[in-house]
Structure 1
């Protein structure tokens, strides 16, 4: 379920073009968020770097990076069970 202006995303996924781990993480995030009825947003790290070079500097070697409720949740691989558990917890 993609993010809308009225509903902020609980999950944010930082990705890079051509990253096979990013493709795998995207599939997991999309499936788990759909099951949970939660929003997610995907941010292309290379595009975002124009506005936020610190983002690229901080996460360039860790993509994909998943955040839940603003806190870093995972990098390189997103475990579906762990993501489900994080989404089941109340927002902080």
Structure 2
């Protein structure tokens, strides 16, 4: 007996996935800061960042989900990552 696969991710699972993507993107950006500009590591980290942005766009419709923005015009939930409020809009 086989189980049917759900068509969409459960919201809790989706949020966990977005959290993990955020940390992967952060590591890639840290690597870009430390790597030499013409190194293969620098290029790979850039590709990884771009891929994470495309995944975020596919899941939320917002490619710029993890990009830093001015917090002057937005109110974030204390203790929650900023992209969780962006998903509620």
Q: TM-score, normalised by structure 2?
A: 0.25
More strand by share: 1
Kindly indicate whether structure 1 or structure 2 has the higher relative contact order, using CA contacts under 8 Å at least 6 residues apart: 1
Q: TM-score, normalised by structure 1?
A: 0.24
More helix by share: 2
